[in-house]
Amino acid sequence: QQQVKQSPQSLIVQKGGISIINCAYENTAFDYFPWYQQFPGKGPALLIAIRPDVSEKKEGRFTISFNKSAKQFSLHIMDSQPGDSATYFCAASGDSGYALNFGKGTSLLVTP
Amino acid sequence: DSGVTQTPKHLITATGQRVTLRCSPRSGDLSVYWYQQSLDQGLQFLIQYYNGEERAKGNILERFSAQQFPDLHSELNLSSLELGDSALYFCASSVGREGGTGELFFGEGSRLTVL
Protein backbone atom coordinates (compact mmCIF):
# COMPACT_ATOMS: atom_id res chain seq x y z
CA GLN A 1 0.00 0.00 0.00
CA GLN A 2 1.12 3.55 -0.64
CA GLN A 3 2.52 4.84 2.64
CA VAL A 4 2.87 8.38 1.39
CA LYS A 5 0.09 10.02 -0.59
CA GLN A 6 1.00 12.93 -2.84
CA SER A 7 -1.10 15.48 -4.67
CA PRO A 8 -1.64 16.87 -7.19
CA GLN A 9 -0.49 14.42 -9.83
CA SER A 10 0.34 17.32 -12.16
CA LEU A 11 0.62 21.05 -11.80
CA ILE A 12 0.96 23.96 -14.21
CA VAL A 13 2.19 27.28 -12.82
CA GLN A 14 3.12 30.51 -14.52
CA LYS A 15 6.62 31.86 -14.19
CA GLY A 16 6.90 33.82 -10.98
CA GLY A 17 4.03 31.99 -9.32
CA ILE A 18 4.02 29.71 -6.28
CA SER A 19 3.98 25.96 -6.76
CA ILE A 20 2.54 23.92 -3.91
CA ILE A 21 2.71 20.13 -3.63
CA ASN A 22 1.16 18.28 -0.72
CA CYS A 23 1.88 14.96 0.94
CA ALA A 24 0.29 12.96 3.72
CA TYR A 25 1.45 9.94 5.67
CA GLU A 26 -0.01 7.52 8.21
CA ASN A 27 2.95 5.91 9.91
CA THR A 28 3.74 7.90 13.06
CA ALA A 29 7.17 6.24 13.18
CA PHE A 30 8.27 8.30 10.19
CA ASP A 31 10.71 11.00 11.24
CA TYR A 32 12.48 12.04 8.07
CA PHE A 33 10.73 13.77 5.18
CA PRO A 34 12.75 14.58 2.08
CA TRP A 35 11.72 15.92 -1.30
CA TYR A 36 13.41 14.67 -4.45
CA GLN A 37 13.47 16.37 -7.85
CA GLN A 38 13.69 14.40 -11.07
CA PHE A 39 14.38 15.78 -14.53
CA PRO A 40 13.57 13.72 -17.65
CA GLY A 41 16.15 11.03 -18.28
CA LYS A 42 17.75 11.49 -14.89
CA GLY A 43 17.43 9.87 -11.51
CA PRO A 44 15.81 11.65 -8.58
CA ALA A 45 18.05 14.00 -6.60
CA LEU A 46 17.58 15.29 -3.07
CA LEU A 47 16.14 18.79 -3.03
CA ILE A 48 15.38 19.52 0.61
CA ALA A 49 14.50 17.54 3.73
CA ILE A 50 12.93 18.13 7.14
CA ARG A 51 12.62 16.37 10.45
CA PRO A 52 9.55 16.73 12.68
CA ASP A 53 11.28 18.84 15.32
CA VAL A 54 10.72 21.92 13.13
CA SER A 55 7.60 23.10 11.32
CA GLU A 56 9.32 24.77 8.41
CA LYS A 57 12.59 24.63 6.53
CA LYS A 58 13.63 27.01 3.80
CA GLU A 59 16.42 26.71 1.26
CA GLY A 60 16.42 29.46 -1.30
CA ARG A 61 13.09 29.44 -3.15
CA PHE A 62 12.14 26.04 -1.74
CA THR A 63 10.29 25.65 1.57
CA ILE A 64 8.98 22.57 3.35
CA SER A 65 6.07 23.10 5.73
CA PHE A 66 5.43 20.31 8.20
CA ASN A 67 2.30 19.66 10.26
CA LYS A 68 2.98 16.80 12.65
CA SER A 69 -0.51 16.63 14.14
CA ALA A 70 -2.12 16.42 10.72
CA LYS A 71 0.62 14.12 9.41
CA GLN A 72 1.05 16.31 6.38
CA PHE A 73 3.89 18.14 4.76
CA SER A 74 4.18 20.27 1.68
CA LEU A 75 6.70 21.77 -0.70
CA HIS A 76 6.39 25.40 -1.72
CA ILE A 77 8.38 26.73 -4.65
CA MET A 78 8.40 30.50 -4.63
CA ASP A 79 8.98 32.55 -7.79
CA SER A 80 8.70 29.38 -9.89
CA GLN A 81 10.94 29.29 -12.95
CA PRO A 82 10.76 27.26 -16.18
CA GLY A 83 13.92 25.47 -15.01
CA ASP A 84 11.92 24.12 -12.07
CA SER A 85 9.83 22.06 -14.48
CA ALA A 86 10.40 18.50 -13.28
CA THR A 87 8.78 15.69 -11.34
CA TYR A 88 8.81 16.12 -7.58
CA PHE A 89 8.59 13.25 -5.13
CA CYS A 90 7.92 13.50 -1.45
CA ALA A 91 9.16 10.68 0.73
CA ALA A 92 9.15 9.53 4.32
CA SER A 93 11.07 7.11 6.46
CA GLY A 94 11.68 6.25 10.06
CA ASP A 95 13.58 3.93 12.32
CA SER A 96 16.42 1.75 11.19
CA GLY A 97 15.27 -0.76 8.66
CA TYR A 98 12.84 1.61 7.00
CA ALA A 99 13.76 2.52 3.46
CA LEU A 100 12.50 5.69 1.88
CA ASN A 101 8.82 5.45 0.96
CA PHE A 102 8.06 7.70 -1.98
CA GLY A 103 4.86 9.36 -3.08
CA LYS A 104 3.74 8.83 -6.67
CA GLY A 105 5.18 12.12 -7.83
CA THR A 106 3.95 15.46 -9.13
CA SER A 107 4.78 16.60 -12.63
CA LEU A 108 5.36 20.36 -12.49
CA LEU A 109 5.34 22.53 -15.58
CA VAL A 110 6.26 26.19 -15.21
CA THR A 111 5.19 28.19 -18.25
CA PRO A 112 7.12 31.26 -19.43
CA ASP B 1 26.44 13.40 -12.13
CA SER B 2 25.50 11.49 -8.97
CA GLY B 3 28.45 9.12 -9.19
CA VAL B 4 26.15 6.08 -9.39
CA THR B 5 26.52 4.09 -12.61
CA GLN B 6 23.86 1.80 -13.99
CA THR B 7 24.05 -0.51 -16.98
CA PRO B 8 22.47 -1.13 -19.35
CA LYS B 9 20.52 2.10 -19.91
CA HIS B 10 17.97 0.37 -22.10
CA LEU B 11 17.00 -3.26 -22.40
CA ILE B 12 14.35 -4.90 -24.55
CA THR B 13 13.51 -8.54 -24.01
CA ALA B 14 10.70 -11.04 -24.32
CA THR B 15 8.34 -12.50 -21.78
CA GLY B 16 9.77 -15.44 -19.88
CA GLN B 17 13.34 -14.26 -20.24
CA ARG B 18 15.85 -13.32 -17.55
CA VAL B 19 17.90 -10.12 -17.35
CA THR B 20 20.55 -8.71 -15.05
CA LEU B 21 20.87 -5.04 -14.20
CA ARG B 22 24.12 -3.76 -12.80
CA CYS B 23 24.90 -0.89 -10.46
CA SER B 24 28.15 0.65 -9.27
CA PRO B 25 27.63 2.88 -6.21
CA ARG B 26 29.40 6.13 -5.47
CA SER B 27 32.92 5.72 -4.23
CA GLY B 28 32.79 5.14 -0.48
CA ASP B 29 29.09 4.32 -0.29
CA LEU B 30 28.34 1.02 1.40
CA SER B 31 24.59 0.83 0.86
CA VAL B 32 22.89 0.07 -2.43
CA TYR B 33 19.15 0.29 -3.02
CA TRP B 34 16.99 -0.83 -5.89
CA TYR B 35 13.79 0.98 -6.84
CA GLN B 36 11.25 0.29 -9.56
CA GLN B 37 9.57 3.28 -11.20
CA SER B 38 6.38 2.91 -13.16
CA LEU B 39 3.82 5.50 -14.21
CA ASP B 40 1.03 4.19 -12.00
CA GLN B 41 3.04 3.16 -8.93
CA GLY B 42 5.73 5.79 -8.71
CA LEU B 43 8.99 4.79 -7.03
CA GLN B 44 8.69 1.44 -5.30
CA PHE B 45 11.44 0.25 -2.99
CA LEU B 46 12.63 -3.23 -3.84
CA ILE B 47 15.65 -4.07 -1.71
CA GLN B 48 18.66 -2.65 0.12
CA TYR B 49 22.12 -4.10 0.65
CA TYR B 50 24.70 -2.82 3.08
CA ASN B 51 28.31 -3.92 2.73
CA GLY B 52 27.32 -7.16 1.07
CA GLU B 53 24.45 -8.09 3.35
CA GLU B 54 20.74 -7.73 2.72
CA ARG B 55 19.52 -4.88 4.93
CA ALA B 56 15.90 -4.22 4.07
CA LYS B 57 13.33 -5.70 1.74
CA GLY B 58 10.40 -4.00 0.11
CA ASN B 59 7.96 -5.01 -2.58
CA ILE B 60 10.33 -7.31 -4.40
CA LEU B 61 8.78 -10.21 -6.28
CA GLU B 62 10.07 -13.74 -5.74
CA ARG B 63 11.08 -13.78 -9.42
CA PHE B 64 13.52 -10.96 -8.63
CA SER B 65 16.73 -11.29 -6.70
CA ALA B 66 19.71 -9.11 -5.96
CA GLN B 67 23.16 -9.28 -4.48
CA GLN B 68 26.01 -7.00 -3.57
CA PHE B 69 29.52 -8.13 -4.32
CA PRO B 70 32.74 -7.59 -2.30
CA ASP B 71 33.66 -4.64 -4.52
CA LEU B 72 30.24 -3.18 -3.52
CA HIS B 73 28.67 -3.23 -6.96
CA SER B 74 25.22 -4.75 -7.07
CA GLU B 75 23.17 -6.73 -9.54
CA LEU B 76 19.42 -7.07 -9.79
CA ASN B 77 18.26 -10.25 -11.47
CA LEU B 78 14.79 -10.36 -12.99
CA SER B 79 13.53 -13.73 -14.20
CA SER B 80 10.44 -15.18 -15.85
CA LEU B 81 9.73 -11.69 -17.09
CA GLU B 82 6.18 -10.52 -17.60
CA LEU B 83 4.80 -7.56 -19.51
CA GLY B 84 4.09 -5.83 -16.21
CA ASP B 85 7.76 -5.85 -15.31
CA SER B 86 8.40 -3.17 -17.90
CA ALA B 87 9.60 -0.19 -15.91
CA LEU B 88 12.52 2.03 -15.07
CA TYR B 89 14.78 0.42 -12.48
CA PHE B 90 16.86 2.75 -10.36
CA CYS B 91 19.82 2.01 -8.22
CA ALA B 92 20.75 4.39 -5.43
CA SER B 93 23.56 4.45 -2.92
CA SER B 94 24.30 6.05 0.42
CA VAL B 95 27.17 6.15 2.85
CA GLY B 96 25.54 4.50 5.82
CA ARG B 97 23.17 1.64 6.37
CA GLU B 98 20.30 3.71 7.70
CA GLY B 99 19.12 4.60 4.25
CA GLY B 100 15.87 5.98 5.44
CA THR B 101 17.41 8.98 7.11
CA GLY B 102 20.22 10.00 4.81
CA GLU B 103 20.61 11.26 1.29
CA LEU B 104 20.26 8.72 -1.47
CA PHE B 105 22.20 9.24 -4.69
CA PHE B 106 20.38 7.79 -7.70
CA GLY B 107 21.76 6.54 -10.95
CA GLU B 108 20.07 7.39 -14.25
CA GLY B 109 18.18 4.13 -14.34
CA SER B 110 17.82 1.10 -16.57
CA ARG B 111 14.72 1.10 -18.73
CA LEU B 112 13.40 -2.41 -19.19
CA THR B 113 10.85 -3.17 -21.88
CA VAL B 114 9.30 -6.63 -21.94
CA LEU B 115 7.55 -7.53 -25.20
- pLDDT confidence of A100, banded at 50, 70, 90? confident
More confident residue, A3 or A105: A105
For the cut 80, the answer to whether the pLDDT of residue A35 exceeds it is: yes
- Nearest-neighbour CA in chain B from A35: distance (Å): 10
Find the closest chain A residue to B9 by CA distance: A41
**Chain B residues lying within 8 Å of A105, measured CB to CB:** 42-43
* C-alpha distances in Å from residue A44, one per residue of A31, A36, A55, B39, B43: 20, 6, 24, 15, 10
Identify whether the C-beta of residue A100 lies closer than 8 Å to the C-beta of residue B104.
yes
Identify whether the C-beta of residue A24 lies closer than 8 Å to the C-beta of residue A86.
no
Q: What is the mean pLDDT of chain A?
A: 92
- pLDDT confidence of B40, banded at 50, 70, 90? confident
Q: What confidence score (pLDDT) does residue A74 get?
A: 98
Question: Any chain B CB within 8 A of the CB of A8?
Answer: no
Q: What confidence score (pLDDT) does residue A96 get?
A: 53
Q: What confidence score (pLDDT) does residue B97 get?
A: 66
Tell me what the mean pLDDT of segment A20-31 comes to.
Answer: 92
Run of H or E residues at B62: none
> Quick check: B42 and A102 CB within 8 A?
yes
Q: What confidence score (pLDDT) does residue A1 get?
A: 66
- pLDDT confidence of B76, banded at 50, 70, 90? very high
Three-state secondary structure call for residue A14: strand
Question: Any chain A CB within 8 A of the CB of B25?
Answer: no
Q: What confidence score (pLDDT) does residue A95 get?
A: 62
Tell the burial category of A10 from Cβ atoms under 10 Å away from its Cβ (0-12, 13-18, 19+). Answer: exposed
Q: What confidence score (pLDDT) does residue B1 get?
A: 85
- Nearest-neighbour CA in chain B from A48: distance (Å): 10
**Chain A residues lying within 8 Å of B35, measured CB to CB:** 102
Q: What confidence score (pLDDT) does residue A12 get?
A: 98
Task: Give me the phi and psi of A11, to 5 degrees please.
Answer: -150, 130
Distance, C-alpha B46 to centroid of its chain: 7
